[in-house]
């Protein structure tokens, strides 16, 4: 088990080091998320006020769109110089490689979410921080669900042509349930009278989905990736 976590940590550290030198993914993803929020606010602001219930949707659409952008490039560095082949040849647990990549993406999306949530709270006067821990749980669980499927699909698409088009085509239908739960949970929190029982239900459903998706992804990563 320690070996498993160590491999995941090594993959994560490699990604962090490459990213800390170029900051390419972080800066472009944050910029894209911010412009997403702005574009949607032009669509949903009427007479100086945001349309009722639109805030949760704007938040999650920005997260999922920028998440797709990040996922599309998650394995881009591995494509060159046959890095992926090298990783797969290493005598380690393959799912550990997946876990390392997933953790890197979660970290990246976490930073993006901090920016997006702050921006949404600032621009739309949304009381996002009233139930901070619940919001954190919804965001974390939703992101894990989205990224766990996304990392697997992104890895699988490395060897496929048309990968830029196919990633969103495959990813959105499979992750819509997670997004519905995220949006509904956040919307229940943002009501004038937050419906906490409903929030609890969505959080447990998200947890259930995450468990299923993450297990499936860890289980199928090895057979999908080996030639």
- Distance between CA atoms of residues 43 and 194, nearest Å: 25
Print the binding letters for residues 120-149 with other proteins: x by CB under 8 A, - otherwise: -----------------------------x
User: Do residues 104 and 16 lie in contact, with contact meaning Cβ atoms separated by under 8 Å?
Assistant: yes
**Based on CB atoms, which residue is closest to other proteins, 45 or 180?**
180
Does residue 173 interact with other proteins by CB under 8 A?
yes
β-strands 45-46, 49-50 pairing: antiparallel
Give the Å distances, CA to CA, from 93 to 48, 70, 74, 198.
Answer: 54, 25, 20, 39
DSSP 104-133: HHHHHHHHHHHHHHHHHHHHH---TTTTHH
Binding span for other proteins by CB under 8 A among 35-43, 51-59, 70-78, 171-179: 171-179
Q: Which of 40, 60, 75, 209 binds other proteins (CB under 8 A)?
A: 209
Q: Which of 76, 159, 164, 196 binds other proteins (CB under 8 A)?
A: 159
- Distance between CA atoms of residues 165 and 151, nearest Å: 16
Does residue 51 interact with other proteins by CB under 8 A?
no
Binding span for other proteins by CB under 8 A among 62-70, 106-114, 123-131, 174-182: 174-182
**Based on CB atoms, which residue is closest to other proteins, 47 or 173?**
173
Binding span for other proteins by CB under 8 A among 11-19, 91-99, 155-163, 185-193: 155-163
Termini Cα distance of the chain? 25
Name the one residue in this structure whose structure tokens are 């495959």: 170
Binding site for other proteins (CB under 8 A): 149, 152-153, 156-157, 159-162, 165-166, 169-170, 172-174, 176-177, 180, 205, 209, 212-213, 216, 220, 223-224
């Amino acid at each position: 088990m320690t070996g498993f976590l160590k491999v995941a940590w090594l993959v994560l550290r490699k990604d962090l080091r490459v990213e800390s030198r170029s900051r390419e993914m972080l800066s472009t993803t944050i910029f894209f998320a911010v412009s997403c929020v702005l574009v949607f606010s032009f669509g949903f602001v009427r007479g100086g006020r945001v349309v009722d219930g639109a805030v949760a949707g704007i938040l999650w659409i920005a997260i999922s769109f920028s998440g797709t952008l990040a996922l599309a490039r998650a394995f881009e560095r591995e494509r060159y110089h046959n890095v992926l082949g090298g990783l797969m040849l290493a005598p380690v647990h393959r799912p550990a490689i997946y876990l390392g990549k997933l953790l890197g993406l979660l970290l990246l999306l976490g930073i993006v979410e901090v920016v997006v949530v702050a921006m949404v709270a600032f621009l739309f006067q949304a009381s996002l921080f009233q139930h901070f821990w619940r919001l954190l749980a919804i965001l974390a669980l939703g992101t894990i669900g989205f990224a766990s499927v996304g990392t697997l699909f992104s890895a699988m698409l490395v060897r496929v042509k048309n990968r830029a088009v196919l990633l969103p085509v495959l990813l959105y239908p499979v992750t819509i349930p997670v997004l519905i739960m995220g949006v509904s949970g956040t919307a229940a929190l943002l009501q004038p009278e937050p419906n906490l029982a409903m929030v609890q239900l969505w959080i447990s459903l998200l947890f259930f989905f995450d468990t299923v998706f993450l297990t499936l992804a860890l289980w199928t990563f090895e057979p999908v990736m080996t030639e």
